[in-house]
Amino acid sequence: MSGAANSDLLKSKIRLVDPRLQEQLSLFWGHPRFTDVFEQHLYRLYHAVHASVPMMQCALERSRQLASECRVAAELVPYFSEHIEEEKQHDVWLLEDMEVLGLPNDPTAEQIPPTVVATLIGTQYYYINHCHPITMIGYLAVVEGNPPRAEMLDQIVATTSIPKDGLRSFYKHAEMDIHHSEEVWRLLDDLPLSMWHNTLLGINAMLVTDQLANMLEDVFASVNND
C-alpha cells in the first residue's frame, strides 16, 4: 500500500479486526436483556471516559517533551490541547444518565474499575510514555469511530424501559463523534508519519478494537452470571 494516505492505512488495519467488535455491538444493541447489559455497560464506559481527559493530558505532555526533536509530536500538541477541552465533562454526562436510570451515580466510590477497562486504559499509558503519543490517535480513531446512530437510540427508547433522558450522553456522541472522527482522519493525513509511526498506530488501533470487544463480552458475562 505504498503511497497510501495515512488515514487509509489505518482504516485498512482496523477493518481486519473490526468484524468481531461489530458482532459484539450487534449483540449488545439487540440483547434480550438490554436494560441489564446497558446498566453494566454504563459503569464500564464511565470508568473509561473518566480516564480519557487525564490520558490525553499525558499524551499532550509527552508530545511537548518530544516536540523539539519530533515534528509529529510537535504537531500533536495543538490537537490534544483542543480535544482535551472538547472532552471535558463527558464523564459527568454519563453520571447524569445513571441518575435518570436510578443507578448509583458515583462509580468511583462504589466500584473498583473492571479489569477490562484497566487493561484498555493502561495499554494507552504504556504506549504514550514508552513509545510515542501518536498511539493516542489510534485509540481515538477507534473509540470515536463507532458512535451509536440516533435512529438506533430512538428504537431503544421505543422498545425498552430506558427513557430518552437516560441516553442523553449517547445522543450527544451520536452527533459529535462524526465530527471528531473526521478530524482524526484529517489530522493523520496532515502528519508527516514514518512507516514506524504508521505501524505503531495500526498495532494500537487493532488492539483497542479487540479490547473494546472484550469489554462487551465482559458485560454479557456479568449479566449471564446474575
| Residue range 114-123, pLDDT digits in tens | 999 999 999 9
Are 190 and 127 a contacting pair, CB within 8 Å? Answer: no
List CB contacts of 75: < 8 A, sequence separation 6 or more.
190, 191, 192
Q: Which domains does the chain have, with CATH numbers?
A: 34-224 (1.20.910.10)
CA distances from 10 to 82, 84, 100, 172 (A): 22, 23, 38, 26
Phi and psi of 16, rounded to 5°?
-65, -35
User: Would you say residue 1 has pLDDT above 60?
Assistant: no
48, 117 Cβ separation under 8 angstroms:
yes
Predicted local confidence at residue 176, as pLDDT: 87
Closest listed residue to residue 190, CA positions, set 79, 30, 116, 57: 79
Q: How confident is the model at residue 22 (pLDDT cuts 50, 70, 90)?
A: very high
DSSP three-state, residue 55: helix
pLDDT of 162-213, one tens digit each?
Answer: 999 999 999 998 888 788 889 999 999 999 999 999 999 999 999 999 999 9
pLDDT tens track for 103-138: 876 765 567 889 999 999 999 999 999 999 999 999
Of 49, 155, 150, 157, which Cα lies nearest the Cα of 95?
49
Pair 160, 170: CB distance under 8 Å: no
In the block, cell 495499554 appears at 123
